[in-house]
Amino acid sequence: MGNSKKTAYIFPGQGAQYVGMGKDLYDNFPQAKAVFEQANQVLGFDLARICFEGPINDLTKSAVCQPAILTHSIAVYQILKTVCAGKSIALDACAGLSLGEYSALVACGSLKFSDAVSLVHKRGQFMDQASLENPGTLACILGIDLEQAKKICEQANVEIANLNCPGQIVISGSFSAMKQAEELAKAAGAKRVIALGVSGPFHSSLMQSAADKLKIELKNVLISKPNVLFIPNVTAAYENDPEQIGQLLTKQVSSTTFWEKSIEVLQKDGINNFIEIGPGKVLRGLLQRINKELNVLNLDKSSDFDVIAGACGCK
């Protein structure tokens, strides 16, 4: 990954969490320990312990897993800055999937970590509350095209939540509507309909009450102009105006996310190297389906930094 190659940092969203996440980073890197301790202090509970020890039921709650994933991602980011300080990895752009946008905004200097971790904790609470008011879920449809999916959504009164990669469309809605959508999708020739293990109908209008509450919180937070290219989910177009970024973060809670299109925009600008920063390898899988030629490195655990150090000549 030399200077001639453009690189984007990408950050995972909700669903990437796992028990034990960040433990080895905390034990091996003082900068990671500092990030987890700051999160504990801001939130007023022991987030690190839940990340390291679980139980998974606690870690899966939106109000916990959202700050957990953000904290893990920023711990990795802070290690990366130190490991490759002054070396050959350049940061040209940032993007994050859903919740991951907050991690991306911290990395590109738009949000302070302390503000971001507080915001996503509240965002998770608001989403959990909205899910109690309007119960529902997400499902992934494989093997039908977008026009077919739109017709199914219209018939079943569900909405397209995520367009993450070719051949994969995620829909959102109430439990009864989602059941009808599944039957319609199978009748239309869908290969599979996979229920996703989430606690609510995210990225749909059923989340509007959460979006309204988040909008109020965002007004109390300073958003600065990003210091590298930043691409939000809901427009898949570069944005550097702080006011617009705040509005898009609000909109994102109850709107479709366009991850595939976002990656295509980055590609067109010559960005072919991506570093997935945070727990899991969800984004790597999506990018390989978008374009197998893309170079994606994952940074999740301590051992991953051996790979990155070699790649950027930091050793």
Residue 257: DSSP 8-state: B
- List the catalytic residue out of 62, 73, 98, 255: 98
Q: Give CA–CA dist 305/271, Å, rounded.
A: 21
Other beta carbons within 10 angstroms of residue 242's beta carbon come to 16
Beta bridge pairs of residue 141? 169, 193
209 is catalytic: no
Q: Within a 10 A sphere around the Cβ of 191, how many other Cβ atoms? A: 11
pTM, entire model? 0.94
Is the omega angle on the peptide bond into residue 55 within 30 degrees of 0, that is, cis?
yes
Predicted confidence at residue 190, as pLDDT, reads 94
The pLDDT of residue 315 is 43
Give pLDDT, residue 251. 97
98 part of the active site? yes
- pLDDT, residue 86, reads 52
Q: Which two tokens stand for residue 101?
A: 């946008």
Q: Which residues of 13-41 are buried (b: 16+ CB within 10 A; e: fewer)?
A: bbbbbbeebbbebbeebebbbebbebbbe
Structure tokens at 77: 């980011």
Q: What's the CATH number for 6-131+205-312?
A: 3.40.366.10
Choice among 62, 203, 254, 255 that is catalytic: 203
| pLDDT for 312 | 52
**Residue 89 token pair:** 């990895």
Q: What is the pLDDT of residue 89?
A: 65
Polymer length of the chain: 315
* Fold match flag (6-131+205-312 vs 136-195): no
Query: What local confidence, expressed as pLDDT, does residue 5 receive?
Result: 79
Sign of CA dihedral 16, 17, 21, 26: positive
What are the structure tokens assigned to 259, written together? 């991850």
Per-block mean pLDDT, blocks of 10 residues, the chain (315 long): 74 94 96 98 98 94 95 96 68 95 97 98 97 95 94 97 93 97 96 88 97 97 97 97 97 97 96 95 94 94 80 49
Which CATH homologous superfamily contains domain 136-195? Answer: Malonyl-CoA ACP transacylase, ACP-binding (3.30.70.250)
The half-sphere exposure of 59 on its side-chain side, counting CA atoms within 13 A, is 23
Q: Both tokens of residue 201?
A: 């109908």
Instruction: Note the pLDDT of residue 90.
Output: 74
Where do the structural domains in the chain lie, given as residue ranges? 6-131+205-312, 136-195
